[in-house]
Amino acid sequence: MKEDKTQRIRRTRNELKEATLRAVSELSKEKGLSRITMVDIGEKAGIRVDVLKRNYTSVEKILSLYAASVDYWISDLFTPKHPMVTTNEKVMIEVFTNLANALYNDSEMQKLLLWELSEDNPTTRRLAANRELFYADVFAQYNNLFKDTGLHIDIISALINAGIYYLILHRKRSTFWGVDFSKRPERKRFIEAIGQVITLIFNALEQQKQTVEIARRLKQKGVALDVIVECTGLPNEFVEQL
């Protein structure tokens, strides 16, 4: 009888994790994430299935671990190297331009996103929900920064994020609005445009702050509310509360 060599390999917990994730990465290229089984991972990594189950319980747990290792939001952004302790234009530009550059270069994250879009199952729903949890606190700070400005920063951020995902995942199918996002010059323009959009948003924020301050001073000088509303374009209810 042929000897099972996997029984003789002794690995540390970190070595087991590395071998498991490496196997998932290779299998994702061969058959796609949705078709990977615990047996597949064991054979590819040279690890007995019972050892895998003892350490990770299920293939869903392994895929969640893999997702965390390749997801920009989880594996790169929210780390001591990139602390998100401030909310300003520079940080927001850095977050989204880094996301675009990371996604362009990371085929594994591309596969992860495509899997989430094409497969509706408990694992893909949980992965998407976990990502939301990681950056929810950060964007709560941005929501507070843009509070009472009329600028829906959460929706705007979602549009920027979704645009990055779609344009990069779609880039090999065709041009989009006449732009070939697979070409390096257009990629450079894409990254620049992300910064331009965010700068416009923060310029609008500053303009809104100035308008509110003008409205506040006019109110202090006794100018009628309807005149302030007409001149500033601010909602009547908002001016009343100044």
Identity of the amino acid at 211: T
Mean pLDDT computed over 84-102? 86
**Is the pTM higher than 0.85?**
no
How many residues does the structure list for the chain? 242
pLDDT at 77 over 80: no
Contact 44, 27 (CB under 8 A): yes
pLDDT at 189 over 50: yes
Please report the pLDDT score of residue 121 as a whole number.
Answer: 85
Contact 99, 161 (CB under 8 A): yes
pLDDT tens by residue, 138-182: 788 899 999 878 889 999 999 999 999 999 999 999 999 999 999
Please report the pLDDT score of residue 1 as a whole number.
Answer: 41
Mean pLDDT computed over 10-38? 89
Q: What confidence tier does 132 reach under pLDDT thresholds 50, 70, 90? A: confident
Contact 215, 242 (CB under 8 A): yes
Taking the C-alpha atoms of residue 194 and residue 196, their distance in angstroms, rounded to an integer, is 5
The angle that helices 153-170 and 107-118 make with each other, rounded to 10 degrees, is 110
Share of residues in the chain with pLDDT > 70 (%): 90
Q: What confidence tier does 79 reach under pLDDT thresholds 50, 70, 90? A: low
